[in-house]
Amino acid sequence: MKILVPVKRVIDYNVKVKVKSDNTGVDLENVKMAMNPFDEIAVEEAVRLKEKKVCDEITAISIGSSKSEETLRTALAVGADKGILVETQEEAQPLEVAKILMEIINKNKPDLVLMGKQAIDDDSNQTGQMLSALLNWPQGTFASKLEVKGKSLNVTREIDGGLETLNMDLPAIITTDLRLNEPRYASLPNIMKAKQKPIEKITPKDLNIEIKQRLKTLKVTEPDKKEAGIKVDSVEELVSKLHNEEKVI
């Protein structure tokens, strides 16, 4: 089995995000960047499948600037075998990302695409579903458990009413949720080995894909600051304030 894992370079989730003074976007100057956390889970699951001898080859792919090579090297250090960097300075929105991935898939013929359910910078949660529609492949979204059985998969996913288990044939698209696994840290020897692993560099034009900006960000603002709460000495006082001051009861 061959697995393709898309990974995205985003602001590290531990960093406090700051909005630009002109409200046109998020300030990325001198900000620590990292792999999207949901993509880390996808890489980890692919590596676990390889350790179980279910998978023969893992290819990580990233779409973005030349700095995205760092993100690919992280995936290679964790256990991916090779990387593909689709280099572009333009913002690739979900549909364009799905189209690029479709071309890569048609060329490389993976059996399974494991990808994060969403990126923490735009929170679109669209690429996996769009890719499934373009390829006409079955999809399992928000996966919290994955079992490979020959040429089929059992995917347990979290829904509002609890858990749902789907069975689907390969090839398929799986988007990962937080509870699927806990990603490992790359060891120093593997980080050094990752520097020698191959990364193929191409552009959207090489795939006959034109990056289009279908969505326009009008304004980015920070959320309103919450006012400090107050303490009350009794239930009666709480009810009185809710009734007389807040007018909610």
Convert the pLDDT of each residue in 190-203 to its tens digit.
999 999 999 999 99
Can you give the pLDDT at residue 213? Answer: 86
Q: Is the pLDDT of residue 208 over 90?
A: yes
DSSP string, 106-124: HHH--SEEEEES--TTT--
- Measured in degrees and rounded to the nearest 5, phi and psi for residue 246 equal -85, -20
Q: Are 60 and 76 in contact (CB under 8 A)?
A: yes
**What's the rounded Cα separation, in Å, for the pair 9 and 12?**
9
Q: Is the pLDDT of residue 229 over 90?
A: no
CATH architecture of the region 2-244 = 3-Layer(aba) Sandwich (3.40)
Longest dimension (CA), the chain: 70
Can you give the pLDDT at residue 28? Answer: 84
Rounded to 10 degrees, the C-alpha dihedral 81/72/118/143 comes to 20
pTM here is 0.86
Can you give the pLDDT at residue 137? Answer: 97
pLDDT band, very low/low/confident/very high, at 42 (cuts 50, 70, 90): very high
In degrees, to the nearest 5, what angle opens at C-alpha 116 toward C-alphas 113 and 120?
Answer: 155
Convert the pLDDT of each residue in 158-207 to its tens digit.
888 889 999 999 999 999 999 999 999 999 999 999 999 999 999 999 99
Q: Is the pLDDT of residue 115 over 90?
A: yes
Q: For a pLDDT cut of 70, what percent of the chain falls above it?
A: 100
Short-list 96, 166, 107, CA closest to 130: 96
Convert the pLDDT of each residue in 135-149 to its tens digit.
999 999 999 999 998
Q: Is the pLDDT of residue 245 over 90?
A: no
- Which amino acid would we find at residue 103? E
Side-chain-side CA neighbours of 107 within 13 Å: the count stands at 12
**What's the rounded Cα separation, in Å, for the pair 82 and 212?**
28
Please state the rounded mean pLDDT for residues 10-28: 88
Can you give the pLDDT at residue 25? Answer: 85
Short-list 149, 122, 101, CA closest to 38: 122
Can you give the pLDDT at residue 141? Answer: 94
Q: For a pLDDT cut of 90, what percent of the chain falls above it?
A: 75
Q: What value does the mean pLDDT of the chain take?
A: 93
Q: Is the pLDDT of residue 216 over 90?
A: no
**What's the rounded Cα separation, in Å, for the pair 206 and 76?**
24
